[in-house]
Amino acid sequence: MSDAPALPIFDGHNDVLLRLIRKGVDRVEQHFLDGDGKGHLDLPRMHAGGFGGGLFAVFVPSPSAAPEEDPTDTRRKRKEAMSGETYDLPLPAPLSLGEAQPTALAMAGILFRIEKASGGRVKVCRTAAEIRDCLAKGVLATVLHFEGAEAIDTDFRALEVLYQAGLRSLGPVWSRPTAYGHGVPFRFPGSPDTGDGLTDAGKALVAACNRMGVMIDLSHLNEKGFWDVAELSDAPLVASHSNAHAICPTTRNLTDAQLARIRESGGLVGLNYATSFLRPDGQMSADTGLDVMLRHLDHLIEHLGEDGVGLGSDFDGATIPAEIKDAAGLPNLVAAMRQAGYGEPLVRKICSENWVNVLERTWGG
């Protein structure tokens, strides 16, 4: 077991489970634990960069983005589609419960297999106390998160079982519509106010998550859905990987009114490293300076306060700035914060403390 890094980072969103399932099911846990040099995340690079833990997303791709498709090719196609001064990508069709559930369970299974094979180096955490203990000891603290609720039936039988397995964070949608609500299309420029709010089932899902202590993730949810959750939920409002609409006016980012409501709730926004949600021109380009990330951080701190901002990389799910490149490059972002005059207490809050605190208040322990 490694020694804990001096400043561990807890991250609000990554898609490494999607990258791993695209490899097939045989020994993918060893690819992660030993390091395969692919994508953005594996355990050696996480240790090198101080990545101490985070929310590990289960995201079921649409049939048009089959599991065996090369993620690099997928990102290339998306980059081409988002290369103009404006763009508006159509959303995929909804997935049925029967289509979504087998893949979702297989992806969750990969996380548990990684934990089992890690020899104590990785833990699936179910409480904030467990996260703190892992960060202190240098154990990778993972939290099972579902990005989109297609795999959960509207009677919530699967939610009960998944909670017992370790599910502690749930986004009602990943952009495409579900039985619970509507997400935002990938549109630039655009407002997040793109359609209807939560369905009746979505409102019941909010109540169920509040009752069980599951965090509701507002990233990808459209604006009317956001305000529905804000009205119904008694938990802090959290967007795990979103940025400031005032700087990058894409549908995926949050308006100042939304930020004000998140602050009022004692919630949090995790800074998304995806360049198309960072750049004022909305372009998907790795040639994006860390100064743009700091502009978003400054804006989020101004509107959320120092206790309401964290990191939400979107590693293995996005094109990120070349100065970071992958998890091993995280010290470059930390150094940029320090060089910009962020004091050590604020840097610690952004890197991990704010996330652990909001999860503790959401989960009740």
Q: How high is the pLDDT of residue 2?
A: 42
Q: How high is the pLDDT of residue 1?
A: 39
pLDDT tens-digit readout, 94-132? 999 999 999 999 999 999 999 999 999 999 999 999 999
Q: How high is the pLDDT of residue 236?
A: 98
The DSSP call for residue 190 is: -
> Residue 220 corresponds to which amino acid?
H
Reported as a pLDDT band with limits 50, 70 and 90, residue 24 is confident
pLDDT tens-digit readout, 334-356? 999 999 999 999 999 999 999 99
20: closest CA among 317, 330, 242, 284?
A: 317
For residue 64, pLDDT over 70 is answered with no
Least confident of 22-26, 63-67, 197-201, 260-264: 63-67
State what percent of residues in the chain have pLDDT above 70.
93
Mean pLDDT of the chain: 94
- The tokens describing 337, both together, are 């914060």
pLDDT tens-digit readout, 136-171? 999 999 999 999 999 999 999 999 999 999 999 999
- The tokens describing 106, both together, are 């297989």
Terminal C-alpha separation, the chain: 26
Q: How high is the pLDDT of residue 245?
A: 98
CB 347 within 8 A of CB 47: no
Q: How high is the pLDDT of residue 83?
A: 74
pLDDT tens-digit readout, 278-298? 999 999 999 999 999 999 999
CB 303 within 8 A of CB 259: yes
Q: Would you tell me how many other CB atoms lie within 10 Å of the CB of residue 117?
A: 14
3-class DSSP assignment, residue 87:
strand
Q: How far apart are CA 240 and CA 272, in angstroms?
A: 8
Secondary structure E strands in the chain: 9-14, 51-58, 87-89, 122-124, 140-147, 167-171, 186-188, 215-216, 238-239, 268-271, 309-311
Q: How far apart are CA 70 and CA 296, in angstroms?
A: 31
For residue 69, pLDDT over 90 is answered with no
pLDDT tens-digit readout, 238-267? 999 999 999 999 999 999 999 999 999 999
- In 15-169, which residue ranges form alpha helices assigned H by DSSP? 16-21, 28-34, 43-49, 71-81, 97-117, 128-137, 157-165
For residue 217, pLDDT over 60 is answered with yes
> Residue 321 corresponds to which amino acid?
P
Reported as a pLDDT band with limits 50, 70 and 90, residue 84 is confident
- Higher-pLDDT residue of 155, 24: 155
For residue 230, pLDDT over 90 is answered with yes
State what percent of residues in the chain have pLDDT above 90.
89
Reported as a pLDDT band with limits 50, 70 and 90, residue 365 is low
- Higher-pLDDT residue of 64, 170: 170
pLDDT tens-digit readout, 32-53? 999 999 999 999 999 999 999 9
Q: How far apart are CA 127 and CA 193, in angstroms?
A: 34
Reported as a pLDDT band with limits 50, 70 and 90, residue 3 is very low
Helix pair angle (223-232, 256-265), 10° resolution: 20
341: closest CA among 287, 286, 301, 289?
A: 301
